[in-house]
Amino acid sequence: MDEIEAPCRCVTMPDIHPFRRLRFWTLKSAGDQGQILVVTCNLCRVTHRYLPDDLMRLCGDMTLDKLLTRFRCDGCSKKYYLRMELHFPNGSEYGSLKLRRLKEIRTVTVPVWTDDVLR
Ligand SMILES: [Zn+2]
């Protein structure tokens, strides 16, 4: 029988370089697998954890390397030092692991001006 390449839910992720891994993994796959996104700023040593579903509400489904470029550190407001990892929560973390949840999405009205003449 030929091998069929199909997404298999029992295999978590191919064991390859983390950055390449992010390129092949989407928010949806992370959410389906019950994974949590862990974003750390290596400069400020600050870590925030996010649920894939929250980020999908905000950005839609996308690969994690693209998603990471949308993040900016609260502390140093830089992108360069941010690293993203996936985390499989274990049983004891339910009810205790701190997460950053999306509280609301606010739409801001931005005026766009242009110079014109009296018509
Ligand atoms: Zn930082």
Q: pLDDT for 35-93, tens place per residue?
A: 999 999 999 999 999 999 999 999 999 999 999 999 999 999 999 999 999 999 999 99
Instruction: Tell me, in angstroms, the distance from the centre of ligand 1 to residue 82's CA.
Output: 7
Instruction: Tell me, in angstroms, the distance from the centre of ligand 1 to residue 47's CA.
Output: 9
**What pTM does this model have?**
0.75
34: left (phi over 0), alpha (psi -120 to 50) or beta: left
The per-residue pLDDT for range 1-19, each reduced to its tens digit, is 445 454 444 444 445 455 5
Instruction: Tell me, in angstroms, the distance from the centre of ligand 1 to residue 75's CA.
Output: 5
Q: What is the pLDDT of residue 1?
A: 44
Q: Using CA atoms, how far apart are residues 79 and 83, in angstroms rounded to an integer?
A: 9
